[in-house]
Amino acid sequence: MIKYLTKRLLFMALSLWLIITATFFFMRMAPGNPFTSEKKMPPAIEANLNAHYGLDQPWYAQYGDYLLRVVQWDFGPSFKYKSQTVNQLINEGFPVSLVLGVEAIFIALAIGVTLGVIAALRHNKWQDYLAMIVAVLGISVPSFIMAAFLQYIFAMKLGIFPVARWGTFMQSVLPAIALAAGPTAFIARLTRSSMLEVLSNDYIKTAKAKGISGFNITVKHAIRNAILPVVSYMGPLSAGIVTGSFVIEKIFGIPGLGSQFVKSINNRDYTAIMGVTVFYSIILLVSVLLVDILYGLIDPRIKLSGGKKGE
């Protein structure tokens, strides 16, 4: 366990270092310097600004400085909003995104698993076909299109939910559904195929032969085993929720980190893009690691020692 964890943490650190290094050099390669959009300024002021942000240093000093600051959880200032640091941006935006994301994950898991289980129990019956057609449609609709249609139908035409903004529960329903739609469909397909595999096992037959009710077999024997692939999907799921939040928050005008990130992209606010990218990468790498540990804990057949999983 300890050996496995150190190995994983080492690779995580390597991935992270690669991301930080890549973003740092990409941003240096990007056209223009942070102050080009502003009015022509006297060279003395520009030199002062450069000195203030350490841009007069050679690249390796800037790079070392940046690495050191990231380790101390300091993502530096935003170049566009002089008074704001990237840390402030994250502290303000992330809690909002987190609430929305958790709501979406909850919806995706609840509906996805239910649909998948029903489809598997009614294999090759109309319920199965219906659930799978819904699922394949759900996978085929990009989240921003889903969001736009939900907004058009339920907010603009029917007026059931508010069109946009953030603050109340009602305002979070449509964005959470839009964010959850794709993952729900994916989880439904995943659950269905793993349920079908589990249901064909001998111990299910044994349970049936012992006279256990259908409900108990499904809940206590089948789902507990069939849920494992869904657990391992949690890592990619959180990545999907994060990237999905960029477009969803923009459409619904939610002041989360996702819409902040999009704003920074459109403003070419390089330090903010860099900082938020690194922040997201840390979140995602940690969540993948947590999922893997969780996976080992709930499935005793998996030993977290080798380092190569699933082989």
Partner 1 sequence: MQEISKDKFEIVGNSSVESEKISKASLSFWKDVFTRFKKNKLAVFGLVLLILLIVMAFVGPFLTPYNYYENDLTKTNQPPSAEHYFGTDELGRDMFERIWYGAKISLFIGIAAALIDLVIGVIWGGIAGYKGGKVDEVMMRIADVLYGIPYLLLVILLMVVLGQGIWTMILAMSITGWINMARMVRGQVLSLKSQEYILASRTLGAGVSRIMGKHLIPNAMGPILVTLTLTVPNAIFTEAFLSYLGLGLTPPLASWGTMANDGIGAMQYYPWRLFFPAMFICLTIFAFNVIGDGIRDALDPRLRK
Give residues in contact with partner 1 (CB under 8 A).
11-12, 14-16, 18-19, 22-23, 26-27, 29-31, 133, 136-137, 139-142, 144-145, 148-149, 151-152, 156, 239, 242-243, 246-247, 250-251, 262, 265-266, 268, 273, 277, 280-281, 284-285, 288
Nearer to partner 1, 207 or 285 (CB): 285
Residue closer to partner 1 (CB basis): 78 or 277: 277
CB of 252 to partner 1, least distance (A): 12
Output the smallest distance, CB 109 to partner 1, in A: 21
Minimum gap (Å) between residue 117 Cβ and partner 1: 20
Report the nearest approach of partner 1 to the CB of residue 234 (Å): 15
Residue 70: both structure tokens together: 């990231």
Of 116, 133, 112, 151, the closest CA to residue 240 belongs to 112
To the nearest whole angstrom, how small is the minimum distance from the Cβ of residue 283 to partner 1? 9
Of 148 and 228, CB closest to partner 1: 148
Considering beta carbons, is residue 52 or 149 the nearer one to partner 1? Answer: 149
Q: How far is the CB of 163 from partner 1 (least distance, A)?
A: 9
Cβ-based nearer residue to partner 1, 148 or 212: 148
Nearer to partner 1, 77 or 240 (CB): 240
- Which residues partner with 85 through β-bridges? 77
CA distances in angstroms from 105 to 5, 98, 145, listed in the order given = 26, 10, 19
Q: How far is the CB of 247 from partner 1 (least distance, A)?
A: 5
- Nearest CB to partner 1, comparing residues 85 and 243: 243
The closest alpha carbon to 80, from 264, 256, 279, 275, belongs to 264
User: What whole-number distance in Å separates Cα of residue 172 and Cα of residue 165?
Assistant: 9
